[in-house]
Amino acid sequence: MKIGSVDLGEKPVLLAPMEDVTDPSFRYMCKHFGADMMYTEFINADGLIRDAGTSVSKLNIFDYERPIGIQLYGHIIESMVEAARIATEAYPDVIDINFGCPVKKIANRGAGSGMMRDVPKMVEMTRLIVEATHLPVTVKTRLGWDEQNKNIVEIAERLQDVGIKAITIHGRTRAQLYTGKADWTLIGEVRNNPRMHIPVIGNGDIDGPVKAREMFDRYGVDGIMIGRATFGRPWIFAEVKHYLKTGELMKPLSTRDKVNIARMHFERSIQVKGPKTGMLEMRRHFSSYFKGLPNFKEIKLKLLTTLDPNEVDTLLNLIVERYGDYVVDESINPSPWANSHD
């Protein structure tokens, strides 16, 4: 599968852009386990133009992350075009437009999935962004605004016609948010539309290697994107790719294995963000890495409250001592981050 000149190989597995999740330290872990392409957290176009610190910091990417895309969102065409020019100067491999975020404060002002209520504006914005950058432009979106307006087949054609190089489709409407099951039927319809010649990437409810292979086989998508199922499980990329290659499931990780991974993630977080911010931002990940361990409340509370890196190290050693080779059944311990923004 190619996005412009970016070659991702056959049946690539991509990391979804997620606010407050896909920061450099988490991307480091996902790349370590084989993510074929990753994206930054989504960036507010207005904030980027104003040189707001939070927005600008999200432009920071590393060569080992490549290929990587910078994702932008906004509802003002001129701002989005200018933001695309600024993002281009950060030298990503792809500029991605967020037409999929369903969060009320974003969608109700016409950004994210809110743009699906004004398709002509969506198309014009995309056309001008394509013209503003030499990089491949991609789009992430949904099936439509609600059950009565599932217009993704038309939208995909029109966006392709103005120059996007790939489209990722989340199999829910904006009205669904993250409830119910993702419907891949229309994703497959877009992929098998004879008018479409760009890659179509499917997203939504891929929770493991079996589901990943099913989506490839049943709907013929060119790639898949995984979001929420990566929380506390960045090794899901290795699991999926192993299963696609061999037809066999990887051996489940022990708690000892997960501690080693959490430690690697923690060290990278401190290195990238500094001790205080790195500690604070790891709390959500510690909860995810060790979900399902019995009688874990006391250790968990300490992990989520300490600001001492040395105490974290002591606690991780204690987890190995107590749980060692214990294996959590992932099938009955789904991600706790069910409402995050993939």
Separation CA 56–CA 153 (nearest Å): 34
6, 14 contact by CB (below 8 A): no
Separation CA 128–CA 264 (nearest Å): 41
> Considering only CA atoms, which of 203, 119, 132 is closest in space to residue 163?
132
End-to-end Cα distance, the chain: 21
Residue 41: how many other CB atoms lie within 10 Å: 21
> Considering only CA atoms, which of 245, 255, 266, 101 is closest in space to residue 178?
101
CA dihedral angle for residue 97, residue 141, residue 220, residue 205, rounded to 10 degrees: 120
Q: Is the dihedral of CA 326, 331, 337, 342 positive or negative?
A: positive
Interior CA angle at 114 toward 218 and 24, to 5°?
A: 70
Separation CA 128–CA 162 (nearest Å): 9
Marked catalytic residue, from 30, 38, 80, 101: 101
Separation CA 28–CA 24 (nearest Å): 6
Residue 30 annotated among the catalytic residues of the structure: no
Question: Which residues are tagged catalytic?
Answer: 101
